Amino acid sequence: MSITDSLLLGNSAPMQQVKLLIQQVAQSNASVLILGESGTGKELVAKALHQESSRCEHSYVPVNCGAIPSELLESELFGHEKGAFSGASSAKKGRFELADKGTLLLDEIGEMPLNMQVKLLRVLQEQVIDRVGSEKPRAIDVRIVAATHQNLSDKVAARDFREDLYYRLNVFPIQMPPLRERGEDILLLWDFFAKGLCFEGDAPVSLSVAAAHELMQRQWKGNCRELRNLVERMSILYPGSEITLQNLQPGAPMLVSEMMAVEGQAELALHPQAAASTPMASAVAVPPSLFDPLIVDDEPVNTQELADVLVSCIDISQGCDLKQQLIAVETQLIQKALDATLGNVSKASELLSVRRTTLIEKIKKYQLQEAS
């Protein structure tokens, strides 16, 4: 496994393109501008560029331009001499000097104040720095990598970012794809995070088929950082367990269609004769009334009233299997939607407010395909 592969997990086409660009530019001294949403792994790209370059034996120094107060940024970047300002009791090297012969990452470069942009441009052009309080320029040899989640072209147009600095930094741009465009990488990342976050002695949390499918459909506005946070939360709540769809939505109201069947429950057909032939159904009797058309004098006008009618059919004192009851209701609702739409799955999914792919899975699961 290459250094880049060990730092940047992912086999999706967008990630393969990123890795190829890293290999192509790593050995040069060209400035690289890494673009992408927050949490996509821009700093990992910078580390890979450094490790794959001839500068790997020297320092890799990251600095977040948005996290340092503007009045301190010059001293942080270029250093200062003793007595240069109040509190400067000794000389101090800046990040540029610390990164000499190595790589300097200017993270969140879009947050850099305009007055500092002018000074940075001079450093990039002349490869010299001036410590605060010093009149003696110091030569430096630093590979510059910049990163931002902002659209620098828009900031240039708004005159919030210098155009000449933008072109100086944007010699070789690398665009990091958002996690929502890397669906096939999500499970790989989950396993990696889970192994690193599991408690000592516990197995890493795994995913059920339905939970994995759900994660691959999410938008992931926080990208890889959001996914890692989710894995950490699941590792704390359910150490060593298989994470189900229900676990992923704690406290959220769950639709019947999201709770059943796709989690690998026993197969059940629409008709009670088929249901009775399954091991689960033979162990617990299901009231036949749930499989029959519901007939009431006054049709319920909301979900709560419908639930009241359904529950009234069950003698809870004799016990019941909640999962089977819910499956029975779900199969009837799906069949009713299919009948109403003459078997049109797309229209039926709209009536039931579920994804078309989810409905197709359930039709197969409950053996309703022929009936539709």
User: What is the C-alpha separation between 92 and 194, in angstroms, rounded?
Assistant: 41
Query: What is the per-residue pLDDT for 312?
Result: 65
Please list the residue range(s) of the chain that carry CATH number 1.10.8.60.
Answer: 180-252
Query: What is the per-residue pLDDT for 265?
Result: 40
Stretch (H or E) spanning 353: none
Per run of 10 residues, the mean pLDDT along the chain (length 372 residues) is 90 96 96 96 97 96 92 91 84 93 96 93 92 89 96 95 96 97 95 92 92 93 95 93 86 41 38 40 36 41 62 67 76 84 84 83 72 41
Note whether 224 and 40 are within 8 A (CB). Answer: yes
User: What is the C-alpha separation between 222 and 8, in angstroms, rounded?
Assistant: 17
b/e burial code for range 223-240 (CB count within 10 A of at least 16 → b): bbebbbebbbebbeeeee
Query: What is the per-residue pLDDT for 308?
Result: 65
Query: What is the per-residue pLDDT for 87?
Result: 79
- CATH code for the domain defined by 180-252: 1.10.8.60
Overall fold of domain 3-177: Rossmann fold (3.40.50)
Letter for the amino acid at 92? K
Query: What is the per-residue pLDDT for 318?
Result: 65
Please list the residue range(s) of the chain that carry CATH number 3.40.50.300.
Answer: 3-177
List Cα–Cα distances, 117 to 65, 123, 161, 231, 267, in angstroms.
Answer: 11, 10, 8, 39, 65
